[in-house]
Amino acid sequence: MDTRVRHRRIQVGDVDTFYREAGPAQAPVLLLPHGYPCSSYEFRNLMPRLADRWRLIAPDYPGAGYSATPESFDYSFDGYAAFLDEFARTLRLERYVLYLHDFGSPIGTRLAIRAPGRVVALVIQNGDIPYEDALGPKYAEIESTWTLPADEMRAKLAEAIQ
């Protein structure tokens, strides 16, 4: 069985999107939203190990990895969840397991709320589900950027990950 990871591109709305895929097309789908400040690259070793029985799909979010960074994109948890929903619909993913961790957790949780009929299971590992009353000091620096104009916000976040 071919367990190699394939690199793909697809247009999702206005976003030129890069994603990694492995496993047979007919297998159950495991959707892998990545953490911050990562990309689908973080799943490069996991995917071949599960590709004998799963179809694994790991997109790069807008502004991450090899996906485009459109100026007009809503770079919030809600915006990323809407993107992930559209990504899944564009690939015609009818049912999938969501693997959630880190920054992907609040995004994937919002996706599960948007499309509960498509999510057959959640695998949550070290998932931060930050709601405003539970953000605390861990997210203080990121939270301080939320009220900045978009260009200043992007510059401040870029500084944080360099």
Count other C-beta atoms under 10 Å from residue 128's C-beta: 17
Count other C-beta atoms under 10 Å from residue 17's C-beta: 23
Q: Residue range 13-35: average pLDDT?
A: 96
CA-CA-CA-CA torsion sign (90, 93, 98, 99): negative
Q: pLDDT (tens digit, 9 = 90+) per residue, 82-111?
A: 999 999 999 999 999 999 988 888 899 999
Q: pLDDT (tens digit, 9 = 90+) per residue, 58-83?
A: 999 999 999 999 999 998 889 999 99
Give this prediction's pTM: 0.81
Distances from the Cα of 140 to the Cαs of 56, 63, 123, in angstroms?
Answer: 33, 21, 27
**What is the predicted pLDDT for the residue at 138?**
66
HSE value, Cβ hemisphere, 13 Å, CA-based, for 140: 3
**What is the predicted pLDDT for the residue at 29?**
98
- Kindly give the pairing relationship between strand 119-127 and strand 96-102: parallel
Q: pLDDT (tens digit, 9 = 90+) per residue, 123-147?
A: 998 876 655 555 667 667 777 777 8
**Residue 59's beta-bridge partner residues?**
19
The answer to whether the CB of 84 falls within 8 A of the CB of 108 is yes
